């Protein structure tokens, strides 16, 4: 068994380090999932043509005989293409080799045996997430006509129409907006279903024995309820008895309520998601530009710089963690995103190549600490992109240079300087730079102190981080909005304080679990 596990682990490392394998995996991922990949739109168009061709053939053969070759193309060739697509999507949904490697590294660091059972369960769980998703189920049903001998299954060709939702981006956006209100829509559907069921039974009982009524079966009663609650009212089936008419009044009023509730749900869903849709549009526009300036921070000096660049017809993107400043930038006619410039995820969300699509990144926060941290983050992503930074205090010039800034702009060169908003201290910039500049497992992480932790741990000396080989870099105190580097053991912990820790990501994870478990045990006692 140990030999089998070792062979499995070695093969996982081989796949993970194989350029050929990874290149093919990236190609199929981009082709199937990456909307920004230039060839994906051609693939989507090809699949949509197949879908419409398949449905067109199905409609044509209802009253006509079609050529055998066309029938084989529809039932086998197209189904086989969809089947290959389904397998490829299942393959790229999650990386089995990555799961194996993570478990192997985790086991080695903690001195435990490699757990093959855990790997199998995790891989199965991740793959089933795709298999049981709505899109995957539709894909599977669209493959069913492959079994051409079972003619009944050919009706599943109609499910290929639903595959259009996968390839049309506007449909996906619409679906994601409605999904945000799925609980409300479920509640509405349950209410409508109960009204329809009760109304169907009542109208059937009151009208079925009336010779003048057209409602003779429960199915006709059900049809009448649907038409009435939707306020369509075709008039082909109506209630004739006074009791039945009273039921109709109740159903009509209920239908008006359902329609009003439905309309309000659509409006609120699109209102809440409007910002996300606009953000996605901004990212899409930014990813198309060949030369852009990214301005980190949008305060008084940054505003002047952004206006000058805009007047010079340059593409400008504003990143700022303050929603108010982002809204102000949008009012000034700039593309702005509510992203933290000091976070790697922010640049990943932009989906641009810093080396080829960015002319320069300007760190213009009126706070040297934020500018240094932003520069370190950018340098961890790309070592060659040009970085220009604002310098507020001459004593921090060396820190900015060390963080990888190419050009430093002294604040005395600008007009309209405003006071700094944040009170802070430089925090081990050399260490943070080394950690972020290298591809290692050492991480800087944040742990927020909750009430349950404070109830059990009152000061720094009780944290026990040393036992987990985790270094406490400092604490940001919520009460004073200040950062304390290398706090003393007697420093009191308060709810809302943030611990900044350095260490192997696995040890940090175990340390966090340790804090939460102590808090849980105290709460149970």
Mean pLDDT, range 17-41, rounded to an integer:
86
Which stretch of DSSP H or E encloses residue 2? helix 2-17
Please report the beta strands in 28-178, taking only residues with DSSP state E, as ranges in sequence order: none
Walk across the sheet containing 442-448 and list its strands. 442-448, 498-504, 471-477, 482-485
pLDDT band at 428 (very low <50, low <70, confident <90, very high): very low
* HEC readout, 206-271: HHCCCCCCCCCCHHHHHHHHHHHHCCCCCCCCCCCCHHHHHHHHHHHHHHHHHHHHHHHHHHHHHH
> At residue 191, does pLDDT exceed 70?
yes
Residue 323, class by beta-carbon neighbours within 10 Å (0-12 exposed, 13-18 middle, 19+ buried)?
A: exposed
What pLDDT sits at residue 411? Answer: 55
pLDDT band at 88 (very low <50, low <70, confident <90, very high): very high
Residue 194, class by beta-carbon neighbours within 10 Å (0-12 exposed, 13-18 middle, 19+ buried)?
A: exposed
Mean pLDDT, range 249-275, rounded to an integer:
82
What pLDDT sits at residue 501? Answer: 85
Instruction: Tell how far CA 74 is from the center of its chain.
Output: 36
Q: 97-101, 179-183, 186-190, 457-461: lowest mean pLDDT where?
A: 179-183
> At residue 420, does pLDDT exceed 70?
no
What pLDDT sits at residue 160? Answer: 62
> At residue 103, does pLDDT exceed 90?
no
What pLDDT sits at residue 4? Answer: 78
Q: What pLDDT, in 10s, does the model give residues 341-363?
A: 988 888 888 877 888 888 889 99
Q: Is the pTM of this model over 0.75?
A: no
Q: What is the rounded distance in angstroms from the CA atom of residue 380 to the CA atom of residue 429?
A: 13
DSSP code for 77: I
Q: What is the rounded distance in angstroms from the CA atom of residue 223 to the CA atom of residue 226?
A: 5
Q: 24-28, 52-56, 146-150, 378-382: lowest mean pLDDT where?
A: 146-150
Q: What is the rounded distance in angstroms from the CA atom of residue 315 to the CA atom of residue 311?
A: 10
What pLDDT sits at residue 87? Answer: 92
Q: What is the rounded distance in angstroms from the CA atom of residue 475 to the CA atom of residue 447?
A: 10
- Contact, 204 vs 221, CB < 8 A? yes
- Contact, 449 vs 496, CB < 8 A? yes
The rounded mean pLDDT for the chain is 79
Mean pLDDT, range 96-114, rounded to an integer:
82
- Contact, 326 vs 318, CB < 8 A? yes
**Residue, of 112 and 122, whose pLDDT is higher:** 122
DSSP codes, 292-343? EEEEE--SHHHHHHHHHHHHTT-EEEEE-S-HHHHHHHHHTT-EEE---TT-
- Contact, 364 vs 329, CB < 8 A? no
User: Which contacts of 434-441 are long-range, i.e. CB under 8 A and separated by 24 or more positions?
Assistant: 435/502, 436/376, 436/377, 436/379, 436/380, 437/376, 437/379, 437/380, 437/383, 441/105, 441/504, 441/505, 441/506
What pLDDT sits at residue 192? Answer: 87
What six digits make up the tokens of 381?
A: 């992503």
> At residue 404, does pLDDT exceed 70?
yes
Looking up tokens 């990143």 gives 319
CA proximity to 500, closest of 431, 439, 438: 431
């Amino acid at each position: 068994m140990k030999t089998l596990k070792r062979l499995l682990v070695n093969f996982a490392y081989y796949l993970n380090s194989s350029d050929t394998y990874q290149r093919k995996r990236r190609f199929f991922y981009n082709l199937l999932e990456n909307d920004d990949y230039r060839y994906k739109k051609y693939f989507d168009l090809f699949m949509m043509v197949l879908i419409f061709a398949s449905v067109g053939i199905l409609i044509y053969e209802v009253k006509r005989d079609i050529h055998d070759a066309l029938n084989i193309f529809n039932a086998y060739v197209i189904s086989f293409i969809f089947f290959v697509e389904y397998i490829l999507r299942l393959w790229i949904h999650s990386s089995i080799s990555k799961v194996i490697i993570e478990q192997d590294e985790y086991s080695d660091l903690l001195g435990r045996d490699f757990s093959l059972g855990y790997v199998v369960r995790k891989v199965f769980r991740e793959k089933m997430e795709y298999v049981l998703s709505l899109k995957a189920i539709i894909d599977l049903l669209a493959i069913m006509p492959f079994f051409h001998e079972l003619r009944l299954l050919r009706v599943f060709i109609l499910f290929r129409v639903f595959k259009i939702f996968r390839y049309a981006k506007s449909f996906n956006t619409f679906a994601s907006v409605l999904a945000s209100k799925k609980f409300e829509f479920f509640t509405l559907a349950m209410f409508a279903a109960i009204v329809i069921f009760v109304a169907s039974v009542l109208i059937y009982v009151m009208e079925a024995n009336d010779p003048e009524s057209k409602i003779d079966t429960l199915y006709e009663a059900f049809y009448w309820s649907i038409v009435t609650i939707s306020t369509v009212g075709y008039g082909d089936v109506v209630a004739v008895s006074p009791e039945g008419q009273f039921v109709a009044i109740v159903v009509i009023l209920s239908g008006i309520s359902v329609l009003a509730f439905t309309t309000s749900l659509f409006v609120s869903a699109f209102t809440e998601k409007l910002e996300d849709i606009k953000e996605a549009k901004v990212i899409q526009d930014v990813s198309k530009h060949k030369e852009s300036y990214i301005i980190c921070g949008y305060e008084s000096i940054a505003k002047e710089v952004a206006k000058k660049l805009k007047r010079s017809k340059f593409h400008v993107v504003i990143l700022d963690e303050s929603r108010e400043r982002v809204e102000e930038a949008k009012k000034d006619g700039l593309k702005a995103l509510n992203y933290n410039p000091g976070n790697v995820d922010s640049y990943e969300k932009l989906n641009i190549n810093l080396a080829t699509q960015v002319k320069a990144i300007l760190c213009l926060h009126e706070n040297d600490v934020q500018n240094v941290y932003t520069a370190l983050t950018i340098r961890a992503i790309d070592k060659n992109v040009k970085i220009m930074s604002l310098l507020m205090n001459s004593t921090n010039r060396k820190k900015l240079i060390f963080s990888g800034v190419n050009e430093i702009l002294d604040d005395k060169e600008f007009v309209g300087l405003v006071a700094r908003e944040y009170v802070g201290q430089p925090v081990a910039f050399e260490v943070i730079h080394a950690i972020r500049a290298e591809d290692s497992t050492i991480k800087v992480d944040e742990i927020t102190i909750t009430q349950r932790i404070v109830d059990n741990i009152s000061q720094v000396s009780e944290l026990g981080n040393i036992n987990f080989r985790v270094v406490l870099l400092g604490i940001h105190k919520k009460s004073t909005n200040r950062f304390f580097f290398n706090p003393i053991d007697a420093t009191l912990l308060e709810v809302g304080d943030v611990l900044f820790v350095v260490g192997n990501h696995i040890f940090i994870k175990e340390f966090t679990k340790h804090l939460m478990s102590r808090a849980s045990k105290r709460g149970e006692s």
